[in-house]
Structure 1
Amino acid sequence: MYISRADEEESILKTFMSVIPLSHIYVIIGAIGMGKTTLMTSVTTKIKEDKSWIHINIDSEEPILQTMNYQLNNIAATSLSPKDPSVPLPTLPINSDSNDGDIRYALDQLLLLIKNNGKKLIITIDDISNSSSIRTFTEYYLHCINEDLPLYVLMTGTYKNYRALYNNRTLSFLKRAPKITLVPLSEIRIAREFEKILNLPEDDAIKLAKLTGGYTYAFQILGHLIFGSGEKVFSDEIYKDFKTELFDNAYEKIWRELSVKEREVLKMISMYKDGGAVSILKQQLNMDSNNFSTYRDILQKSGLIYMSSYGKAKTSLPLFSEYIDIFCR
C-alpha cells in the first residue's frame, strides 16, 4: 500500500530538473519507517523517464567512490560515446588499492564523458551516516560542483546522522542544502486508502487510520496484515502481529540508536499519556532549561516527540510509549 507525497516529489524534481538548478543535492530526513526510501525511489523513477539522466544507487556502507567508478565504467562501455575513441577511459576495479587522487581523477574523466554526451548523473544513497566513505564522497561532490561536473545527489537519513555529517568542518555546506523533513501522513488519506483497498466500512477505516498515527510503516504493515488475512477484519491476532512488527522492525532499531540521555527523556515523556508539561519533566529529570531544550529539540527533529498546543511533550509514533514501558524500563 502506498500514499504518494506529491508535494515533496515535486519540490525535489523541480530543483534537479530546472534549466539552472538551485542545488545539485537534496536530503530527505525522517525517522526510521517514515517513508524516506519510498520517496527517494519514486523521485528517481520519474527522473529516469528522462533519458538524459543516468542513475546509480549506492549502498551507504560501500566504498562509495570506488563503487561509483566501477558502475560508471560499465555504463560508459555500453551507453556513452567518447570524444576520442582511441583514448581509453581510466578504469579502477572496485577492490582497487589505488589512492584517493587516482580514483577522483578517473571519476572526473567519466563525468566529463557524461557531460560531453549531454547527460547528467544522479547518485542516490539511502540511510546516510557520518562514515568516512560518506564524508569522502560528499567532499568529492563539492569538488564536482566547483568544476561544473554534472553530478546530482539525493540522500536519505535520520536527523541525527544528517546533523553529525554537516557538523564536520569541511561539510558545513550540507546544513544549507535543500532538505525535506518527512512528517506523518494524513490520517484522512490513510482512512480513504484502507476503505478503498481493503473494502472496509468508513468507521472501521477511520479507527485503523488513527491507530497508525500517520506513521508510514504502521500504515503499510497494518494494511498488509489485514489484506493478507483474507478476511478484511481487524482481529485481536492482527493487532498482536501489528505490534510485533512495529516493535521488532522499527522501534527496537530507533531505541538502539538513541543516546543514554535521549532515552531518559523519552522514558519520562512516555509516562504521561496526555503529554508531560515541560516544567515537570525538567524537574523530574533534574535538567536545567538549556539542557532539556537540547534533548527535546533532537527528539522533536528526529520525529520521535512533538509539542502540543498546551506546551506538553508527547511521543509521536503509534504505541511507542507502550513499547518503552514494556521493553525499555
Structure 2
Amino acid sequence: MASKNPYTISFGKIPTQFISRSSIIDSITDALDSETPDEQAFKLTGIRGTGKTVTLTAIERYFRERDEWIVIGVRPDAEIMTDIVSNLYSAVPALTKFIDANLNLSAFGIGLNLSKKSPATSMDYVLKTLLRELSKNDKRLLITIDEARKTKGIIDFIQEFQILIREEFPINLVVAGLYEDIESIENTDGLTFFLRATKFEMTPLNITYIRSDYQNTLGVSYDDAEKMAFITKGYAFAYQVLGKYVWDSGKKALTKEVIMKFDEVLADKVYKKIWSELAPKDKYFLSFIVKKDKMEASELLELTKQNHSSWSIPRARLKEKGIIDVETRGVVSIKLPRFKEFVDEQIALEGELQNA
C-alpha cells in the first residue's frame, strides 16, 4: 500500500479513491451537451454522505474542460443572479470588455462606472443581456448549487430561470441537496418547472465495485473484501470510512477495532443528526424494524400494535430520509449500515435518561 491514505471521511472533499456515479454523470452531461437539449435543469438528492458533492464536482469538471462552456458554482444563500453576473464579469474576458463598454453596473459594485450611461437597476435585465452576448459567441452557461435548500435567493433564481429557458437562453442548472431540502423547493408555489426537472437519487454503490476496490487498494483477501463491501450496504460515506480505517490499521483485514471506529464515525457524522430529527413515532417503529434484516409490514404492525394508517406517515418520513427501503411491496428493511447497532444504543441511552 502507498503511504498516503486514499480514503477520506471529510464531507465535501474529493477522495483520491472513490467509485464514480458514471451512469448519473453520463446522463446529465450527455443531455446538456447535446446541440438542442431537451432538459436544462437536473437535481441530485440523497442523504448526507451518498456522494452528491463528488458527483456534482465531476459534472463541473467535465464541462470546465470544454471551451464552449462556462461553469459557475453559487451558494444557496447568496444573491444568486448578482453572483452569476459578477463571476461572468471576472472570469470571462469577452464579457468583461462587453460590460465595461456597454453596461453601467456600478449599483451592484461590478465593472466601470460609465458616467454617460445610467446605472442598471435590474439584475434580470443584465443577466439576459449577458446571456444574449454568450449566445452570440456560441457559449453556454452551467450554474451549479451544492447543499441546495429553500432560500429567497434560490426561489428568486429558479423563477427567473424558468423565464430564461422559455426564451431559449443558453443557461443550465444542476443542484444537489438532501431529500427534504430538495422536496421543500419542489413544493414551493410557482416552481412547477423545478418540480418536473429530472431528479437523480444517490442510490447505493455497486457492492461488486466496492469489493474489487477494497481487494485492489487495501490488499485484503476476496472474502474479507466481500464481507467489508456488504457491511457498507453500498453507502458511499461508509465505503470511505471502512476503507480509511482498514488502511490505517495496516493489517489488511477487518478487525474489531476497525468496526468500533466505523460505528463511532457513522454515529458522530451522520446518524446522530438523523436521529435528532426523527419524530418519537418514527423512533418507535425503527426500534422494531431494526430487529431483522427484512421485515414484513404485517409483522411490524403486529409487533407495534399499530394499524396501517398510523404507520403511513412514519413510513413516508423514514423513506424520505433514506433510512428504510420499501421498494418491495409489503417489506421493510434498513438501508443504512450498522444502523441497528446505533438504534439499539440510542434507545438504551434514552431509556436510561427516562428512568433517571
TM class by shorter chain equals 0.7 to 0.9
> 2:191: which partner in 1?
171
Q: Which residue of 2 aligns with 1:246?
A: 266
Select 2:63's aligned residue among 41, 44, 47: 47
In structure 2, the partner of 1:38 is: 54
**Which of 2, 7, 10 in structure 1 is aligned with 2:26?**
10
RMSD: 2.5
Equivalent in 95, 113, 134 of residue 80 of structure 1:
95
Residue 312 (structure 2) aligns with: 293
The verdict on how the C-alpha distance between 1:109 and 1:264 changes in structure 2, with shifts beyond 3 A counting, is farther
Correspondence 1:213-224 to 2 at 5 A: 213-224=233-244
Question: Does structure 1 residue 135 correspond to structure 2 residue 160?
Answer: no
The residue correspondences of 1:91-106 to structure 2 (distance < 5 A) are: 92-93=108-109, 102-106=122-126
Selected match of 1:273 from 282, 292, 314: 292
Flag the 1:258–1:137 CA change in 2: closer, same or farther, 3 A: farther
Match of 1:189 in 2: 209
Letter of the structure 1 residue corresponding to residue 340 of structure 2: S
Map residues 194-233 of structure 1 onto 2, 5 A cutoff. 194-233=214-253
CA distance in 1, matches of 2:62, 2:320: 28
Q: Which amino acid aligns with 1:277?
A: E
Q: Which runs of 5+ in 1 are unaligned?
A: 95-99
Deviations 1:141-198 (A, max 9, x none): 1121122221111011222222211111201222211111121111111000000111
The Cα shift of 1:276 comes to: 3.7
Query: What residue is the counterpart of 1:159 in the other structure?
Result: 179
C-alpha distance 86-93 of structure 1, shift in aligned 2 (>3 A): closer
User: Counterparts of 1:126 and 1:286 in 2: how far apart (Å)?
Assistant: 42
CA deviations on 1:43-80 (whole Å, 9 max, x unpaired) are 2211222111111111223332332232222124x353
**CA displacement at 1:265 relative to structure 2:** 3.6
Structure 1 residues 17-48: Cα deviation after superposition (integer angstroms, max 9, x where no partner): 11111111000111111111111111221122
Equivalent residue number for residue 22 of structure 1: 38
- Aligned amino acid, residue 56 of structure 2: M
Q: Is the 1:66–1:93 contact (alpha carbons within 8 Å) kept by the matching residues of 2?
A: no
Match runs of 1:303-314 below 5 Å: 303-307=322-326, 309=328, 311-314=330-333
How many positions carry a matched residue from both structures? 322
> Structure 1 residues 232, 84: CA separation in 2 closer, same or farther (over 3 Å shift)?
closer
Q: Cα offset for 1:291?
A: 4.8
- Greater CA deviation, 190-199 or 108-117? 108-117
Instruction: Return the alpha-carbon distance in structure 2 between the equivalents of residues 27 and 16 of structure 1.
Output: 13
Residues 84 and 128 from structure 1, CA distance in 2 versus in 1: closer, same or farther, beyond 3 angstroms? Answer: closer
Q: 1:324 aligns with which of 322, 335, 343?
A: 343
Question: Relative to 1, partners in 2 of residues 1:34 and 1:49: Cα closer, same or farther, differing over 3 Å?
Answer: same
Whole-angstrom CA distance in 2 between matches of 1:234 and 1:11: 36
Q: 1:118 to 1:287 in 2, by over 3 A?
A: farther
- CA contact under 8 A between 1:265 and 1:285: conserved in structure 2? yes
Q: Aligned AA for 1:65?
A: M
Partners of 1:89 and 1:232 lie apart in 2 by: 63
Closer/same/farther in 2, CA of residues 287 and 176 from structure 1, 3 Å limit: farther
Alpha carbons 1:80, 1:117 under 8 Å: kept: no
**Seq. identity, %:** 29
Give SS of 2:38's match. coil
1:260 Cα deviation from its structure 2 partner: 4.8
CA drift of 1:283 comes to 5.6
The 2-side partners of 1:59 and 1:260 are apart by 33
The residue type equivalent to 1:254 in the other structure is I
Residues 119-134 of structure 1 aligned to structure 2 (within 5 Å): 119-134=139-154
Which whole-Å CA distance do the structure 2 matches of 1:208 and 1:276 have between them? Answer: 23
Opposite residue 153 of structure 1, the aligned amino acid is: L
Conserved? CA contact 2:39–2:197, under 8 Å: yes
Residues 16 and 24 in structure 1, CA contact (< 8 A), matched pair in contact too: yes
Structure 1 residues 288 and 236 mapped into 2: Cα distance closer, same or farther (>3 Å)? closer
Check whether the contact 1:183–1:303 (CA below 8 A) recurs between aligned residues: no
| Counterparts of 1:84 and 1:127, CA distance in 2 | 31
CA contact under 8 A between 1:127 and 1:157: conserved in structure 2?
Answer: yes
